[in-house]
Copies of this chain bind each other. A is one copy, B any other.
Amino acid sequence: MSTHEGPPAGHLPGEPEPVSPAPTLEGGPDELHRARAYLLRVAEPPAPALVAFVAQHGPVEAAARVRLGDCPPEVVKATEARRAYDFVTQDFARAAAAGARLVVPEDDEWPAWPLLSLDLAAQRGVAEAVPPLALWVSGDVPLGTVADRAVAVVGARASTNYGEHYAAEFAHGLAARGVPVFSGAAYGIDGIAHRGALAASGVTVAVLGCALDAGYPAGHVPLLDRIIRSGGAVVSEYPPGTPPARHRFLVRNRLIAALTEGTVVVEAGRRSGARNTASTAGALGKVVMALPGPVSSGMSAGCHALIRESRATLVSTVDEILESVGFFGVAEASAPTRAKRPTDRLGPDALRTYEALAVRRDRSDAEIATESGVPLRRVRALLPELEIDGFAVRGEAGWRRRRQSA
């Protein structure tokens, strides 16, 4: 694992500092963020009564009234143990130290659309469908962006080679097509899913059942760092310092389900957390998928049960996953997404020149210069280089963009 992940950030002398993740609010958190940070700590999520109270009065008033105990009995009950403690300043200080920020529903980057599934499910009477009051996030990418058309790849910690192979293949294939891959950062399938996405230079998001700074799972701390440094994110609704706990993983599972369009269960025993994620995803109206496997493997038994009970769709390939979640655009768009990656090594002028090329018709170098804003002489020098590198094709009437092969 260590060769995969590289050393933990900053541990080796001379190792470059990891890119500093996620700026916190300039001049410290505002009243809204402070109120939600307080609310996130004052009751153990999910806290449906508190969430309803906040929805009714707004976070600032709700926080003030919770502090005073001036709220309905169920809210008092959920908050009385912790309401006197005010850790808000410490929480933001610890989060900043860990490179994390608090994302609240009032923020532009709040993944409102995917999380709407929780509100809708709650209206249908799904008990566990309680929206988070806010989310602690590490990683530069806006949370709403990574939670847009994402897929979760989850499974057992006690994974087999078979499951690991397909977890890696699915995560790699999804990420390569530009689909963010969510998982729970656990050992086994979860970790392999994150790594598979990273191997495709894709975006992956870990949703934790403990604080971002809990250092858990210990063996995956370097992986979590790598996820953050690679344009992904690590997300938790637990305040800094919150240790992992079994019930928190189950509560966390609803966020993995809610933040994605669908969940692929790669391997799961008959009774397992992965099956819990799947059933939550189903209750939220998300697409649940499962990988079949040898009947002789206990780690496929949970997948087979989900499929047999029509609670999951069988998926064998990345294309079947995309078809199941209805990402038809993605399957088609897969070529451009992949095509972009090779251009990462192009300099800014070369990239602008490349982007000024049309796919279906030739453009003259003068046209390309006008389109790109790159001087004509530079365009003339760059085009043969782009040709050699496979990005441009010389045609009868000028230059065309070369389609990047699948």
Contacts and interface: CB of A to CB of B under 8 A. Distances in A.
Interface of A: 162, 166, 291-295, 300-301, 304, 307-308, 310, 313-317, 320
Contacts of A307: 292, 307, 314
A314 B320 contact: no
A270 to B, nearest CB: 11
Given A301-B316, A314-B314, A162 B308 contact: no
Contacts of A304: 292, 314, 316
A144 B46 CA distance: 60
Contact of A292 (B162, B292, B320): B292
One complex includes copies of this chain to the number of 2
Contacts of A162: 294
A39 B376 CA distance: 70
A304 B316 CA distance: 8
Given A166-B295, A292-B295, A294-B294, A315 B320 contact: no
A297 to B, nearest CB: 9
A196 to B, nearest CB: 15
A292 B302 CA distance: 13
Given A292-B293, A293-B294, A294-B293, A308 B314 contact: yes
A174 to B, nearest CB: 16
Given A293-B293, A293-B295, 8 more contacts: A291-B295, A292-B292, A292-B300, A292-B304, A292-B307, A307-B307, A308-B313, A308-B316
Contacts of A291: 295
Contacts of A166: 295
A294 B300 CA distance: 10
A293 B294 CA distance: 4
Contacts of A310: 310
Nearest to A297: B294
- Name the 7 nearest CB pairs between A and B, nearest first: A292-B292, A308-B314, A295-B316, A307-B314, A304-B316, A294-B294, A304-B314
8 contacts: A291-B295, A292-B292, A292-B304, A301-B316, A304-B316, A308-B315, A308-B316, A308-B320
A335 B313 CA distance: 31
A48 to B, nearest CB: 35
Contacts of A317: 295
Quick one: which of A294, A317, A320 has the most chain B CB within 10 A? A294
Contacts of A314: 292, 304, 307-308, 314
A307 B315 CA distance: 10
Contacts of A301: 316
A367 to B, nearest CB: 41
